[in-house]
Amino acid sequence: MFNFFRSLKSQDVLVEKPQHIAIIMDGNGRWAKKRFMPRISGHRKGLESVRAVITQCQKLNIPFLTLFAFSTENWLRPTQEVNFLMTLFQDSLKKESSSLIKNNIRFKVIGDYKPFPKKLINKIKELESLTEKNTGLTLTIAINYGGRWDILNAVNEFQKKNHSKKLLTQKNLTQNLSLNFAPDPDLLIRTGGEKRISNFLIWQFSYTEFYFTETLWPDFNEKAFMSALIEFQKRERRYGKTSEQL
Ligand code: FPP
C-alpha cells in the first residue's frame, strides 16, 4: 500500500503529501446500532480505526494527525456514554503510552480538559511531557474542544499578555490558539456521511481540503484512509490564485 501511494504520487504530481491531517471520527453509534449493539461498542471498535490511521501516518511520514474525540457539545449525550468515553480515553492512554513512546510519537491534547477527572488530566500531562521531545508523528487529540472556544481563548490570552494595548493580528491569534505547534491542516476527513465541520478547527480550516465519506468510523481502515489520500492528490490547491499561476 505504501509503494502504491508513492507510485501514485509520481504519476499525479498535483499536490504535495499532506503535512497535517485532521479527522472527525463520526459514525460509531450508527455502526453499533446496525449490529444491534450498544453505542459504546462502536466507540470501542473505533479505537481500532484510530490505531490504523496512526500506523498509516507513520508509514507515510505524515508529521501531524489531529483527531476530534470529544466536542464541547458532546457533554449533552447520555451520562453513561460520556462516562464511557472518558474511561475509554483514560484506559487507552494507559495501554498505549509505551507504544507511543516506543514509536517516537509526540502526544498532545487540545481543548478545555479542566472539567475532566483529575486522574485523566494527570495522565494527559504525564504523557505529553514524556513524549514532548519525540520527533516522529505529532498526534493531537481534541477533547472538550470547540473552534469558537479556541478562538475566544486565544483572544483572551492575547489581551492578558498585552493588556489590550496592541491590535490583534492574524499571527498573534494563531500563536495563541491551542494548535499553535502545528501547521494548518491540509486535509480534513469526516467519516459517517455528514458534511459539516461541527465547530472543529474553524480558524485553521481556511484552506483545508475537505473529504467526506459515508464510511462509518469503525469501518475506516487502511484502504479507506488511502482512498482519502488519493482524492487529496487530485485536488488543485490554488489559495486564491489561478491555475496558470501555480
Ligand atoms: C462520534 O460518533 C464519535 C465520538 C463522539 C467519539 C470518538 C471516540 C473514539 C473513536 C474512540 C476513542 C478515541 C480516542 C482517541 C481514545 P457518534 O457517536 O456521533 O456516531 P453516530 O453519529 O453514528 O451516533
Å from CA of 141 to ligand 1 middle: 12
Residue with the smallest CA separation from ligand 1 atom 3 is 26
In a domain, 163, yes or no: no
In a domain, 4, yes or no: no
Q: Look up the pTM and report it.
A: 0.91
The set of cell numbers assigned to 140 is 493531537
Number of domains in the chain: 1
pLDDT mean over 154-178 = 90
pLDDT of residue 10: 38
pLDDT tens across 101-135, in order? 999 999 999 999 888 889 999 999 999 999 999 99
Query: Where residue 112 sits, what CATH number does that domain have?
Result: 3.40.1180.10
In a domain, 153, yes or no: no
The boundaries of the domain holding residue 26 are: 17-147+185-235
In a domain, 79, yes or no: yes
Q: Residues with Cβ < 8 Å from 124, sequence gap 6 or more?
A: 93, 109, 113
Nearest to 139 by CA among 175, 103, 112: 103
Residue with the smallest CA separation from ligand 1 atom 10 is 46
Pocket test for ligand 1, best of 25, 65, 215 (most atoms within 8 A of CB): 25
In a domain, 1, yes or no: no
pLDDT of residue 8: 47
pLDDT of residue 15: 53
Q: How far is CA 106 from CA 5, 34, 140, 176, 200, in A?
A: 24, 36, 8, 20, 21
pLDDT tens across 208-232, in order? 999 999 999 999 999 999 999 999 9
Q: Name the residue with cell 488543485.
A: 236
In a domain, 164, yes or no: no
In a domain, 74, yes or no: yes
Evaluate if residue 13 carries a pLDDT over 60: no
In a domain, 119, yes or no: yes
